[in-house]
Amino acid sequence: MSGAEIIVQVMADEGVDVVFGYSGGAILPTYDAIFVHNKDPQKKPIPLIVPANEQGAGFMAAGYARASGRVGVCIVTSGPGATNTITPVRDSMADSVPMVVICGQVPTAAIGSDAFQEAPVSALMGSVAKHVFLVTDPTRLEATVRTAFEIARTGRPGPVVIDIPKDVQNWSGAFAGQGGLPLPGYRTRLKQLQSRRLGDAELASFFAMLAQSERPLIYAGGGVVHGEAAVALREFADAFGIPVVTTLMGIGTVDTTQARSMHMLGMHGAAFANYAVDDCDFLIALGARFDDRVAGDPKRFARGAKHIAHLDIDASEINKVKRVQWSYVGVLGEALARLTEYGRAQGLVSERSAWHAHCAELKRVYAMNYDRESALIQPYYVIEEINRLTRGEAIISTGVGQHQMWAAQYFDFREPRLWLTSGSMGTMGFGLPAAIGAQFANPKRLVIDIDGDASIRMNLGELETVTTYDLPIKVVVLNNFGDGMVKQWQKLFFKGRLSASDKSLHKKDFIKAAQADGFPWAQRLERKADVARVVADFIAFKGPAFLEVLIDPDAGVYPMVGPGQAYEDMITGDWIPSRGKGPSAPPGASEMF
C-alpha cells in the first residue's frame, strides 16, 4: 500500500465512520486515497465532510467526539491548514476530548527550508496537544497512526496530532494490519490505572467520613462523562441518598429533572447549587478539578466541609488547587461501583431526609428566575420554550458567552453527551461546527445550536456546510447586538465603558445570510407574543432551520460570582433572592476574566 492508503486503512480498522477536513497540496495523496476507498464496493465508506475552513473541521471532529465518546478525526493540509486547527486542538486538550488531527507536511527533504505552506507543526502543537508525531520514517507510519488513536482515547482523553510529509504519504510498503509504537512508560501508567482497585482500608476510611456526614454532596465534573461513569455515579448517589452538583462540563451526568440534581455550580451556577456547596459537610469530587470558574477563592470553597474526597484518573489534579482528606486515582466507573458494592454490603445506607429537605428548600427559594413581565423578549423565556418541547432529550451545542450560560442554566439534560460546549478555553465560534459533528455522530437526534450574534460570526461560513449536507440542525441566534458577556463585565466592573463590544451599528442581516446559504426555514423573532408559536414551528421543521431572536440587550447572566470571590459574595441580580450581602469589594484589576 501507499502511505496514504495505509492511513485510510488504519482509520477503517479503528472504526472511523466520518472524517472532517479541507484539502490542500500536502495532503492530496491522502484525500485521493479516501476517494478511492469510498468508491470500493467491498469497503465501508468513510464520508469526508468539507467545512468552510479548517477550524470548523476541528470543531466538527470535537463535536463528534463529545457527542459520541468516539475519537473524532480531522484531516488538513500543511501550513495554514495545520495552524487553523491549533484552536480546536487546544480546546479539546483543555476539555479532555479524544481527537486525531492528521496534517499534511512538505516533503521530508524540504522540512526546515521555509518551503511553500510549511509550518513547524510539532513545535506549534507540542504545547497544546496530548501528543504530537512527525513521521519521517515511512516504515513506522502504520504503527504511528494506530498509536495516535490509542493515546487519544485512553487515560485522560485528548487530541493527538500526526504530521505526515507528502513523500511519506506517497511511499509504498507492506501493510502489517496490526501493531503500534513502543510506549513503555505510557502503557505502564495506563496498566497501573486500569488495574488499580480500592482496598478495604480505603473503602472503610471513605465510609467512615460518610458515616460522620449529615450533609454530603457530590461535585461531578467532565471526567464522569469522559469516563463513561454516569450510570455508576447515579447508582452511587441513589444508594446513599447524596445530592449532586455538576460543573459546566459535567452537565448531564445526572438527570437534571430529578429531585436530587442540584444543577450547575460555579461562577454562573444556580444560587441553590452554590449554597448547597457552602452548606455541605462532606464534598465528594468526581472527575472535577476545582478550576477557577468553580473555586474562585479556593480557601473559601466548600467552607463548611469537614472532609473532601477526590476521585480522578489524573494524579496531577489531586491537591493541585484544594487540599483533600481522601483521594483515589484510577478508573472512575469501577471505583464508584466498588464504593456502592462495599457500602451496601456493610449496610451503610444513611437516612438523609433533613438534608434532602434543606436542598429542596434551597431549590425552591433560590430558583432561577427573571423578569417575566418584561415587554422585551427575555432569552431565558426562549430557552424555556425550547426546553418545554425537547424535554431534556435534544443535543444542545453552544457558542461562548451569555447565551452559553443561559443554555446551561435553563435547559434540562437527561443523559450525558447531550451538552456540548467549550468549557475551559471558552472558544467563540464553537457552537455551529460542533453541532455539525454531533449530528453526524447522532443522525437521529435533534441537534440545536444555541448561539450568540457575536459568537456565531466566528464560524458563520459553516451555515453552508449544514445545508450542503442537508443536516436537520436547528440554529438559534440570541441577538443582543454585541459581545454580551463582555458588555456585562464592562457594566459591572468598568463603569459601563463598552470598549469594542457594542455591535448595534453593525449591518449584518442574519436571516439573509441563512437564506443565502440555503436554509429553507429562516425567521426573525421580534415580538414576545410570537415566541411560543414561532419556536414550536422552528422545532417541528424537518430540515435545517435558522431562528434569530432579538432579545433584551440588557439581559444579564445571574447568578454571578466575581473572579477570585467566594459563593457568599455571589451577585444574584434583581430576580433571584440572595442570602448573602454580595461582594464586599469588586474583583482586583488583575483578576481573570
- Point out the residues that are catalytic: 54, 116-117, 166, 485
Burial profile 498-510: b = 16 or more Cβ within 10 angstroms, e = fewer = eeebebeeeeeeb
Grid coordinates given for 515: 437564506
Grid coordinates given for 574: 434583581
DSSP 3-state percent helix, strand, coil across the chain (nearest 5): 40, 15, 45
H or E stretch covering 54: helix 54-68
H or E stretch covering 333: helix 332-345
Q: Is 110 helix (H, G, I), strand (E, B) or coil?
A: helix
For 144, half-sphere exposure in the C-beta direction (CA atoms, 13 angstrom radius) is 23
Place of cell 463590544: 501
Do strands 159-165 and 99-105 pair parallel, antiparallel, or not at all (unpaired)?
parallel
Q: Distance between CA atoms of 50 and 57, rounded to whole angstroms?
A: 7
For 518, half-sphere exposure in the C-beta direction (CA atoms, 13 angstrom radius) is 14
Grid coordinates given for 110: 524540504
Residue 147: closest CA among 157, 136, 133: 133
Q: Distance between CA atoms of 77 and 84, rounded to whole angstroms?
A: 10
Phi/psi for 309 (5° steps) reads -110, 145
Q: Distance between CA atoms of 336 and 198, rounded to whole angstroms?
A: 10
Grid coordinates given for 488: 456585562
Residue 315: closest CA among 106, 98, 156: 156
Q: Distance between CA atoms of 272 and 262, rounded to whole angstroms?
A: 7
Grid coordinates given for 190: 495506563
In the DSSP assignment, the letter for residue 7 is H
8 A C-beta contact, residue 23 and residue 180 = no
In the DSSP assignment, the letter for residue 425 is S
Q: What is the largest CA-CA distance in the chain?
A: 72
Place of cell 461531578: 220
Residue 278 Cα to chain centre, angstroms: 26
Q: Distance between CA atoms of 337 and 327, rounded to whole angstroms?
A: 16
Residues in Cβ contact with 320 at an 8 Å cutoff, skipping those fewer than 6 apart = 289, 290
